[in-house]
């Protein structure tokens, strides 16, 4: 029996399987709000065979978006648009719905990926960025160092966005504390040079992440809340797996339902060694040290890789992104390859293996 396609409990939420569609920025929002592209994209993925589909990183404030095409959840308009997307996903698919909430910090005010994330020029709608310390990201303008009032506002914005997400109908909220975005900037000694209660020691640098978690947890009672955390900055003097373990333990003590363990993104000087499943051992280390539910990510592309990770106890879930962009029914294929039964809607069951012999033509392993 496939372990990947067995249920898993994440706090109050039971997922039908351990396969997750990772949050993927689409750079297609209208002033922060979902539109036709998001509904088509996420509605399709609701029927991908994954047990959970994560909606892309969504800023808790308008100015926290990384690009003008990023999503935000800061007013009634963006909340209503999210609610419409969630309702559509539930109407057409069987996956649970999560949302990732995060602020870009010094990585905000850029062009989208297809323009290389170049910083916006003043004539292109550039906006002020904020960070724990006034250190620029690469060639971007230096951000403004956050004041105590800015920090309080950020915590409040996260809580307000969480409450909006709950009203919109999501099953799970993930706080983004990684990939070089604002909370990661506070956690990492590479980007945090503060001398107050939010800088210096490891305990101080974790403080904001824990306070944001507490505020989010309070604003979202009864639903699963987790955090994406960093296990390596891939820079000398940066965060290490030990820092991830310390943060995960502190989060678990506060009632965090899971952590998604990733790495990188804090600075262009990083030196990452990329290869198949290159971040899985980070997740395994956190899992072994804490015992809390953990999600693994990072160049996981085949059903056998995903199955090996969860069956081997390295993580409780795996999340894939580009594999689902390339093959939106990846979860069906994975289930068939692993001898499990995928979640296939009635309208598509004429193509369900073995009802359609074409599966064996597309993947000879299925005809065995």
Task: Give per-residue pLDDT as tens, 69-110.
Answer: 999 999 999 999 999 999 999 999 999 999 999 999 999 999
**How many domains in the chain?**
1
Which residue do the tokens 């308009």 mark?
77
In a domain, 366, yes or no: no
CATH number for position 166: 3.20.20.70
In a domain, 262, yes or no: yes
Active site residue 198: no
Share above pLDDT 70 across residues of the chain, in percent, rounded to a whole number: 100
**CA 288/CA 310 separation, integer angstroms:** 13
In a domain, 107, yes or no: yes
Note the pLDDT tens digit of each residue in 242-291.
999 999 999 999 999 999 999 999 999 999 988 999 999 999 999 999 99
Q: Phi and psi (nearest 5°) for 188?
A: -85, 135
Note the pLDDT tens digit of each residue in 36-72.
999 999 999 999 999 999 999 999 999 999 999 999 9
In a domain, 39, yes or no: yes
Q: What is the pTM of this model?
A: 0.96
In a domain, 361, yes or no: no
In a domain, 354, yes or no: no
In a domain, 364, yes or no: no
Contact call for residues 2 and 49 (beta carbons, < 8 A): no
In a domain, 368, yes or no: no
Residue-range definition of the domain harbouring residue 63: 8-343
Catalytic residue among 27, 181, 258, 336: 181
**H-assigned helices in the chain:** 36-45, 76-92, 148-168, 182-187, 202-219, 241-253, 280-290, 303-311, 322-326, 330-337, 358-362
């Amino acid at each position: 029996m496939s372990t990947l396609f067995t249920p898993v409990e994440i706090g109050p939420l039971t997922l039908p399987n351990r396969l997750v569609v990772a949050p993927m920025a689409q750079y297609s929002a209208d002033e922060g709000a979902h539109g036709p592209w998001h509904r088509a994209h996420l509605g399709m993925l609701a029927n991908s065979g994954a047990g959970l589909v994560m909606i892309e990183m969504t800023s808790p404030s308008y100015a926290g978006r990384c690009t003008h095409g990023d999503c935000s959840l800061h007013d009634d308009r963006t909340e209503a648009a999210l609610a419409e997307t969630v309702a559509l996903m539930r109407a057409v698919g069987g996956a649970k719905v999560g949302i990732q909430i995060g602020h870009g910090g010094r990585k905000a005010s850029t062009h989208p990926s297809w323009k290389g994330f170049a910083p916006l020029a003043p004539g292109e709608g550039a906006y002020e960025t904020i960070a724990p310390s006034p250190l620029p990201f690469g060639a971007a303008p230096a951000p403004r160092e956050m004041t105590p009032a800015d920090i309080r506002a950020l915590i409040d914005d996260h809580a307000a966005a969480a409450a909006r997400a709950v009203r919109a109908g999501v099953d799970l909220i993930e706080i983004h504390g990684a990939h070089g975005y604002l909370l990661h900037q506070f956690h990492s000694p590479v980007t945090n040079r503060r001398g107050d209660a939010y800088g210096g020691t490891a305990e101080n640098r974790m403080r904001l992440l824990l306070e944001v978690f507490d505020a989010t947890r309070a604003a979202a009672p009864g639903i699963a809340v987790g955090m994406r955390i960093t296990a390596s900055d891939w820079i000398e003097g940066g965060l290490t797996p030990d820092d991830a373990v310390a943060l995960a333990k502190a989060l678990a003590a506060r009632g965090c339902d899971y952590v998604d363990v990733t790495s990188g993104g804090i600075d262009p000087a990083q030196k990452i060694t990329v290869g198949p499943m290159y971040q899985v051992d980070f997740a395994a280390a956190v899992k072994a040290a804490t015992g809390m539910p953990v999600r693994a990510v990072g160049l996981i592309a085949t059903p056998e890789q995903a199955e090996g990770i969860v069956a081997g106890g390295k993580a409780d879930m795996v999340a894939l992104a580009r594999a689902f962009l390339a093959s939106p029914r990846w979860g069906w294929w994975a289930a068939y390859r692993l001898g499990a039964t995928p979640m296939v809607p009635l309208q598509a069951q004429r193509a369900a293996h073995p009802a359609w012999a074409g599966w064996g033509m597309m993947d000879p392993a299925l005809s065995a």
